[in-house]
């Protein structure tokens, strides 16, 4: 399996499929690169080079005690891009992966970037503050910490329902999809999983978004129960200069994996990459 080794000697696993303009996928918490398989296959089948990595602490990458923060995640992404010498890159980030992509631009600039896609992404800030009243209260994230620390297996099983909208009437979420979520989540080291909660909830990415100087697709479901659209996609669309804001009516947080939203997003992703 292909790995890169970061400057702090952490092994980062990645998949590298197809040839053509590179499209680099960053996954959400608490998943891994496998969550992007339908889209990596889609892009590789259509003349792109699709690359997806497991964030440190997740999946097949190293489980470090430190570095489970957006600065380090972004630096790992930069090292992957530089090691593979990728240029004219289309960055695609879901949820926390969207924060990773955003912080990458903030820390490393856009010289290698052609476009970006932020799907159900955490920017600009998830935590409710006086300056960010649309965010979620700290108690919400404390409950997530409690779930990970006490019975993470059951917590992840329960979390799969709102993640994919399986708690909504008329949903089309299979048990297999929920089982895959649980399996991927249990591959995350408990330290990395716990620390990442602070990273995705408390990191202010407003200034990083202001550095976007390339076409950006901001895509979000208006029934996202994990990263509410009012605090995320809507606000990001008012910060990023050159963006297309696509709202998916009734779509959940994990819309790229469940019908009928997956097919619509796939078509939008491919059209944006080709455009």
3-class SS of residue 96: helix
95 a catalytic residue:
yes
> Given 27, 58, 94, 253, which residue is catalytic?
253
* H runs (alpha helix) in the chain: 37-45, 70-83, 96-108, 138-164, 175-186, 190-202, 206-209, 233-237, 261-274
53 a catalytic residue:
no
> Given 26, 61, 95, 120, which residue is catalytic?
95
> Given 69, 76, 208, 224, which residue is catalytic?
224
CA distance 215 to 235: 17
CA distance 134 to 119: 18
108 a catalytic residue:
no
Per DSSP, 89 falls in state: E
Helix axis angle, 37-45 to 261-274, nearest 10°: 40
Answer whether 117's CB lies under 8 Å from 93's CB: yes
Residues noted as catalytic:
95, 224, 253
């Amino acid at each position: 399996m292909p790995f890169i080794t970061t400057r702090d000697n952490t092994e980062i696993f990645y998949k590298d499929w197809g040839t053509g303009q590179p499209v680099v996928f960053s996954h959400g918490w608490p998943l891994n690169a496998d969550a992007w398989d339908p889209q990596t296959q889609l892009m590789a089948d259509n003349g792109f080079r699709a690359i997806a990595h497991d964030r440190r602490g997740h999946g097949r990458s190293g489980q470090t005690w430190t570095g489970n923060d957006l600065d380090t995640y972004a630096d790992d992404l930069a090292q992957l891009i530089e090691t593979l010498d990728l240029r004219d890159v289309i960055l695609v980030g879901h949820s926390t992966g969207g924060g990773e992509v955003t912080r990458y631009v903030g820390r490393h600039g856009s010289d290698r970037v052609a476009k970006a896609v932020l799907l159900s992404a955490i920017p600009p800030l998830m935590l409710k503050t006086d300056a960010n009243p649309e965010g979620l209260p700290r108690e919400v994230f404390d409950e997530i910490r409690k779930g990970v620390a006490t019975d993470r297996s059951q917590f992840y099983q329960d979390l799969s329902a709102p993640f994919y909208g399986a708690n909504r009437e008329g949903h089309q979420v299979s048990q297999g999809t929920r089982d895959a979520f649980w399996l991927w989540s249990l591959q995350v080291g408990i330290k990395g999983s716990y620390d990442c909660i602070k990273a995705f909830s408390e990191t202010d990415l407003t200034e990083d978004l202001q550095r976007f100087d390339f076409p950006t697709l901001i895509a979000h479901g208006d029934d996202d129960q994990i990263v509410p659209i009012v605090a995320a996609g809507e606000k990001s669309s008012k910060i990023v200069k050159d963006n297309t804001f696509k709202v998916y009516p009734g779509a959940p947080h994990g819309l790229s994996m469940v019908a009928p939203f997956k097919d619509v997003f796939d078509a939008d992703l491919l059209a944006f990459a080709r455009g």
